[in-house]
Amino acid sequence: MLETIARHSRFVALDNGDWQTRREDGCRHFLVRGELYLEQTDGPRHRLRAQDPGAGYPLPVDEDWRIRPLGPARLIETPERYLGLCREQHSGPSVAIELHEDDAEAQLYLEFHRELTQGGYELPALPDLAIRIGKAMDDPNTNNEDIARLVQLDPALSARLMSVVNSAAFAGSTPICSLNQAVARLGRQQVRNLVFSCIIKDLFRTESATLRQMMKALWDHSCRVAAICSVLARFTPGLDPDRALLAGLVHDIGVIPLLHTASNMPTLATSPAVLQRLVHEMKAEVGQLTLQTWHFDPALCRLAREAEDWYRIGSAIADYTDAVLIAQLHAFVGLPEGRGLPRIDAIPAFRKLALGKLSPRHSLGVLDQAAHEIEEVEQLLR
């Protein structure tokens, strides 16, 4: 196999000036000698050296990436089709359920699967207030008073914000008495995250007593993953902790419309094996559609689809999907859900995060040291 890949690969020499690879070329490039600057439009600049852990992964190919060598550099160009070999060697966990023509559960599965593939579910709508607050956050002409005025439109949201800003995690020398002061102390990004976490939490509700526990477990898991993602981002250049927190919150958002649809089918709601398999198969696609409907940026929309693609290659630069993958495996340690999943240090995302400081011997040393901080963020989200 390696001989075949070698025959179809070649070296590429870079001297100076910007250089860009294009996905339509059907090839990916790996840095094997020298150093590169990788800069994303409106994003941070990364310095990649051939000896860095990230150099074991292909250079990014999105159009908004600019690549510039720092002196002579050498790349290996390899057909992209070979990058899928590790996926063929590693198959993810499957939810066991036998399908037979005369099996009532199989018939239920096929019926519901057919309905879902034909779009027979309703995507949750992002409340208008969340959209308005998001636009205000992005508008440089708005001030803290404008944002506070929008938050005041929702009394429950206002109370939540005041509670958080006076909590042990954010409290200063003097207590906060107004929303204007709260916004000023927390900062726009933290306010945005709290707003979205409160609004998203309301989506994790159902009238079905049977599914209520499943929704609660899903929200608890999302909070845990979000908190871990936020801490990982602090140790990984180019990742924003606030954006990482939001990525963790929405990575399983596709489960919500599926469970709401199941609540209208009592037979399905009482068939956990069938429901579990349907959720496992459909949540990635439905999650991506949900975030697209909410007009989230393309990177977060793709994240919902790739959140359990454990052997996803990605690129030499760590992204939010890498953080979510590691955070989920860490959140599952010691739980029944973690059985059959790959080891944390066995997936590609492991070596790219936290500047390669993640330790296989000590699980995730960075996260072990930040356990108290993770717990604090998790409690705030809940």
Is 80 exceeded by the pLDDT of residue 114? no
Task: Kindly state whether residue 88 falls inside one of the protein's structural domains.
Answer: no
Last residue of a domain, one of 26, 52, 81: 81
Q: What is the pLDDT of residues 255-285, one digit of tens each?
A: 988 888 777 777 776 777 778 888 888 899 8
**Does residue 151 share a domain with residue 11?**
no
308 contacts: CB under 8 Å, gap ≥ 6: 92, 284, 325, 328
Domain assignment present for 109 = no
pLDDT at res. 144: 85
pLDDT value for 44: 77
Note whether 69 and 165 are same-domain residues. Answer: no
Highest mean pLDDT: which range of 81-85, 134-138, 197-201: 134-138
Claim to verify: residue 237 and residue 369 sit in the same structural domain? yes
Q: Looking at per-residue confidence, does 38 or 365 come out higher? A: 38
pLDDT, residue 179, reads 87
Please state the φ and ψ torsions of residue 65, each to the nearest 5 degrees.
Answer: -95, 135
254 and 324 both lie in a single domain: yes
d(CA 83, CA 78): 9
Check whether 93 has a pLDDT greater than 50.
Answer: no
Mean pLDDT, residues 72-83: 89
List the single range of 148-157, 215-224, 253-262, 358-367 with lowest mean pLDDT: 358-367
What residue type is 34 in one-letter code? G
The total of other beta-carbon atoms located within 10 Å of residue 287's CB is 26
Residue that wins the pLDDT comparison between 41 and 132 = 132
Do 169 and 23 lie in one domain? The reply is no
Distance, CA of 77 to CA of 10 (rounded, Å): 5
Give me the pLDDT at residue 8, please.
Answer: 92
pLDDT for position 147? 87
Quote the pTM value: 0.80
> Which pLDDT band, with edges at 50, 70 and 90, does 299 fall under?
confident
Task: State the pLDDT at residue 172.
Answer: 63
- 246: closest CA among 286, 189, 293, 178? 189
User: 151 exposed, middle or buried (CB, 10 Å; 0-12, 13-18, 19+)?
Assistant: buried
Least confident of 122-136, 200-214, 247-261, 348-362: 348-362
φ, ψ for residue 320, nearest 5 deg = -70, -25
Distances (CA, A) of 155 to 127, 145, 146, 188: 15, 16, 16, 19
DSSP lists the bridge partners of residue 270 as: none
Average predicted confidence (pLDDT) for the chain: 81
Kindly give the pairing relationship between strand 73-79 and strand 27-33.
antiparallel
Q: What percent of the chain has pLDDT over 70?
A: 83
Question: What pLDDT band is residue 95 in, cutting at 50, 70 and 90?
Answer: very low
Half-sphere exposure at residue 40, Cβ-oriented, CA atoms within 13 angstroms: 13
SS3 label, residue 235: coil
**For residue 262, what pLDDT is reported?**
78
Query: Element (H or E) spanning 80, and its range?
Result: none
Do 299 and 357 sit in the same domain of this protein?
A: yes
Better-predicted residue by pLDDT, 197 or 99: 197
Residue 213 lies in a domain: yes
The CATH number that applies at residue 18 is 2.60.120.10
What is the predicted pLDDT for the residue at 94?
44
The verdict on residue 111 lying in a domain is: no
**Beta-bridge partners for 29:** 77
Instruction: For residues 46-66, give the mean pLDDT.
Output: 86
Predicted pLDDT at 364: 61
Both structure tokens of 273: 């094996």
Q: Determine the average pLDDT of the residues in 145-152.
A: 87
pLDDT value of position 76? 94
Q: Is 355 left (phi over 0), alpha (psi -120 to 50) or beta?
A: left
Residue 96 included in any domain: no
Structure tokens at 63: 């159009």
Question: Looking at residues 340-344, what average pLDDT do you find?
Answer: 89
- The 3-state DSSP class for residue 46 equals strand
What's residue 248's pLDDT?
92
Q: What is the pLDDT of residue 103?
A: 61
Quick check: is 117 in a domain? no
| Burial class, 371, CB count within 10 angstroms (exposed 0-12 / middle 13-18 / buried 19+) | exposed
* CB 204, CB 153: distance < 8 Å: no
How many domains does the structure of the chain reveal? 2
Q: Within this chain, do residues 74 and 146 fall inside the same structural domain, yes or no?
A: no
Q: Which of 104-108, 163-167, 335-339 has the highest mean pLDDT?
A: 335-339
Cα 263 to Cα 269: distance, rounded to the nearest angstrom: 6
CB count within 10 Å of CB 322 equals 27
235 vs 253, higher pLDDT? 253
How many whole angstroms separate alpha carbon 88 and alpha carbon 250?
28
Residues of the domain holding 227: 128-381
Q: Is 165 found in the same domain as 77?
A: no
Q: What is the pLDDT of residue 89?
A: 52
Give 214 or 30, the one with higher predicted confidence: 30
Q: Which of 81, 110, 140 is the last residue of a domain?
A: 81
Instruction: Answer whether 347's CB lies under 8 Å from 49's CB.
Output: no
Q: Is residue 148 part of a domain?
A: yes
pLDDT at position 247: 92
For 111, 144, 192, the CA distances from 157, given in Å and listed in that order, are 40, 16, 11
Up-side HSE of residue 87: CA atoms within 13 Å toward CB? 11
Which strands form 35-40's sheet, in the order they lie side by side? 45-49, 35-40, 65-69
- CATH code for the domain in which residue 218 is found: 1.10.3210.10
Contact 364, 229 (CB under 8 A): no
Residue 84 CA: distances (Å) to CA of 11, 245, 344: 21, 29, 20
pLDDT, position 280? 86
* Residue keyed to tokens 């509670």: 163
Residue 246's pLDDT is 87
Say which range, 24-38, 116-130, 177-191, has the weakest mean pLDDT. Answer: 116-130
For 113-131, give the DSSP string. HHHHHTT-S-PPPPPHHHH
pLDDT at residue 201 in the model: 78
Within 10 angstroms of residue 165's Cβ, the number of other Cβ atoms is 23
Does position 230 have pLDDT exceeding 50, yes or no? Answer: yes
Written as six digits, the tokens of 267 are 């037979």
